[in-house]
Amino acid sequence: MATPLIRKDAWKLSAIATWEPTLLLYAKAVGEMSNRPATDPTSWRFQAGVHGYSASTDPFVNTGPTPPRNIQTQFWQNCQHGTWFFLPWHRMYLGFFEQIVRAAVVQLGGPSDWTLPYWNYSDASNPNARALPPCFLQPTLPDGSPNPLYVIQGINIPRAAGVEAGDPSAIPDSDVDLSGCLNETFFAPDTDTTSGDLGFGGPATGPNHDAQVFGQNSVESLPHNAIHVDVGGDTVNGWMINPDTAALDPIFWLHHANIDRLWSVWNGVSASNTDPIAPVNVAGQPVVWLTSVPFSFYDSTGTVVTMTPSQVLDTTTTPFLYDYEDTTNPMAAAPGGSLLTSLTASRRITMKPGPSEMIGANDTPMTLTGAAQSTTFALQAPAGPSLTSAALPAAPATTHLSIENVVSTKSNATYEAFVNLPANPDEAAYKEHYAGVLHLFGVTQASTQSDRHAANGLSFSLDITKLVSRLKARSAWDDGNIRVTLVPRSARGAGLANLAVHDPIHIGRVRVYRT
């Protein structure tokens, strides 16, 4: 049996040298691939187009022809987001990309066992973990030529200013916190749902290119979406913040290698953290996650290969044959056992959530333009499925705040949600009333009508079960008067001060669900 190749931590490689050979060869391979025409399936632009593409945002649109329309239709704009196919599709995508880069590395005289590094921004042992590895911040390679990890075909890769400066604090601690996703006890719900707990892997849907619905604790929501937004910045120009340009930034691939690694980490946290194996009824149609949906890619030889999720469950037995340098559970704490174990001990008895019931909603839409906005409404006592679920010892009730139909065609500003936030809050109040964050990765695509969706925007399901308990304990909760406040992230240091006005972000509905 062949031995898997090992994908290594980019920061540990950087500790050896800024231009450790694995990283230097990656940069040179990116340069080699970027010199190939976009019509070549092994080119940088073609591989980026597989994830997403729009001529209106393509920074290289005038540098040569793109593939014929039939090729674009079959192979481009195929990334899976807001769906339980997110993880397997990206595992396939990375696998074929790694093969293509490896072939370029060999062409450049490098080793045939080269592997794609990963960016472990959640490494608590490394104070610089949230900063880009140093090789991504160098304008030139050691020989003085332009560094393709910093500038591609004469275009400087646009990133957020703090990230570009190498400042670890440019990415908040909360955006790399793994306690939410690694605390999940199931991969996906049993039904296609947009509310409640959506699991580690995301909602059970059919194939879905444009992002739609995110669960607070899904790995796609955090750290995936958070890192895209943090690296790309809040403007529409950053490549990483836009699914149609994200894969043009070489850090994209190290970010996704880490997300792929976290899937393996989650599988190893508990024997019950298994991937879906049974048929799931989605919108009245039987869908089998393992084998029902095939995805096609070009390999390093230009051959079309089609795969299903069943072929990529275990990295060490997939056709790509790789493993990670470290897949241990980062939540382990000494000496009282695992923090994760203590967090999940009460949840392991219920592997999937029951049906959700809406118990309250606001009456009018909200519009965000740079200032904090609040909406208030009353809750009703559960009368349907959640009442029954809450009565079962094996199914403790949970409460979710659902922020739905978030629509914007231009703005990517990040907002945080708070429940019953007092006037003129200090930092302690923000922490006590915090419900979650809205990272708007993909909002433009989800807000634009296409043949794939009706432009309903993004929706977020935030678990506020523990928050509700804390507020009740402090007599800060009243079912008859719930106030949800959305605050621009960068305004927190100045209380509820206004940010610079940005293009409108429309919120269709705010609801509370009991499961």
Least confident of 88-97, 133-142, 466-475, 492-501: 492-501
Distance CA 480, CA 325 (A): 52
- Taking 80 as the threshold, does the pLDDT of residue 321 lie above it? yes
Spatial contact of 141 and 24, defined as CB atoms under 8 Å apart: yes
pLDDT score of 233: 85
Q: What is the DSSP letter of 113?
A: T
pLDDT at position 161: 93
Does this model's pTM top 0.85? My answer is yes
Q: How far apart are CA 113 and CA 126, in angstroms?
A: 27
**pLDDT tens, position by position, 448-466:** 877 666 788 999 999 999 9
Most confident of 205-219, 281-295, 305-319: 305-319
The model's pLDDT over 176-202, given as tens digits with 9 standing for 90+, comes to 999 999 999 999 987 666 678 889 999
Rounded Cα gap, residues 470 and 473, in angstroms: 5
How far apart CA 110 and CA 247 sit, in angstroms, is: 23
Q: What is the mean pLDDT of the chain?
A: 89
pLDDT, position 210: 77
Gap between the Cα atoms of 313 and 219, Å rounded: 16
The predicted pLDDT at position 307 comes to: 97
Q: Report the distance separating Cα 353 and Cα 186, nearest Å.
A: 9
Annotated domain spans of the chain: 5-344, 357-514
Q: According to CATH, what is the number of the domain 5-344? A: 1.10.1280.10
Q: Where are the beta strands (DSSP E) in 315-433?
A: 322-324, 357-361, 366-368, 373-377, 399-407, 415-419
For the ranges 185-189, 289-293, 484-488, the maximum mean pLDDT occurs at 484-488
pLDDT tens for 196-246 read 888 999 988 888 887 678 888 899 999 999 999 999 986 668 999 999 999
Tokens of residue 183, six digits: 């605390």
Asked whether 250 and 136 are in contact (CB, 8 A), the reply is yes
The residue type of 455 is A
Phi and psi at residue 213, to the nearest 5°: -125, 135
More confident residue, 388 or 155: 155
Nearest-Å Rg of the Cα atoms of the chain is 23
CA atoms of 90 and 96, how far apart (whole Å): 10
Mean pLDDT of 104-110: 98
pLDDT (tens digit per residue) in 399-446:
999 999 999 988 788 999 999 999 999 999 999 999 999 999 999 888
Share of the chain above pLDDT 70, in %: 87
Tell me the β-bridge partners of 281.
191, 286
pLDDT greater than 90 at residue 15: yes
- CA 332 from chain centre, in angstroms, equals 23
Give the 3-state secondary structure of residue 378. coil
Q: Looking at residue 448, what is its pLDDT?
A: 86
How far is Cα 459 from Cα 438, in angstroms, rounded to an integer?
9
Q: What DSSP element (H or E) covers 156? A: strand 155-156
pLDDT at 394: 43
- One DSSP character per residue, 176-211 reads G--HHHHT---SS-SB--SSS--TTT----S--SS-
Q: State the sign of the Cα–Cα–Cα–Cα dihedral 318, 322, 326, 330.
A: negative
Evaluate whether 289 touches 204 at the Cβ level (below 8 Å): yes
**Cα-based distances in Å from 314 to 146, 247, 263, 406, 459:** 38, 24, 10, 35, 31
Res. 502: pLDDT tops 80: yes
Q: Is the pLDDT of residue 287 over 50?
A: yes
Mean pLDDT of 127-138: 98
Domain 357-514 indexed as CATH 1.10.600:
no
The count of other CB atoms within 10 Å of the CB of residue 405 is: 16
Identity of residue 452? R
**What is the pLDDT confidence band of residue 277, given thresholds at 50, 70 and 90?**
confident
- What are the residues facing 147 on neighbouring strands? none
